[in-house]
């Protein structure tokens, strides 16, 4: 069976993910939803600086064109 990238994202809904943004920031949170543009909704989100939580955001939406990678 061939896996597609959205299959992995579907399996990651409800799990914690790490997102790296174009401005080199890291955001960690629980993936709640995404769309075909890779816009993400994260809950319990927090910005990471040197792998330590810096700023807590709660629920946020990240625009897909700012995302470099999503670690599941």
C-alpha to C-alpha distance for 36 and 66, rounded to whole angstroms: 14
- At residue 1, the pLDDT reads 63
For the chain, give every domain's residue range. Answer: 5-71
Half-sphere exposure (Cβ direction) of 39: Cα atoms closer than 13 Å: 6
Sign of CA dihedral 57, 63, 66, 71: positive
Q: Which residue has the higher pLDDT, 3 or 37?
A: 37
- For domain 5-71, give the fold: SH3 type barrels. (2.30.30)
**What are the pLDDT digits (tens) for 10-53?**
999 999 999 999 999 999 999 999 999 999 999 999 999 888 89
Query: How far, in whole angstroms, is CA 19 from its chain's centroid?
Result: 4
> Does residue 2 have a pLDDT over 90?
no
CA distance 72 to 15: 8
């Amino acid at each position: 069976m061939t896996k597609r990238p959205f299959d992995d994202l579907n399996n990651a809904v409800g799990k914690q993910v790490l997102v790296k943004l174009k401005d080199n920031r890291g955001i960690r949170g629980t993936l709640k939803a995404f769309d075909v543009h890779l816009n993400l909704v994260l809950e319990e989100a927090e910005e990471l600086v040197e792998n330590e939580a810096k700023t807590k955001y709660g629920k946020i939406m990240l625009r897909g064109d700012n995302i470099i990678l999503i670690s599941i």
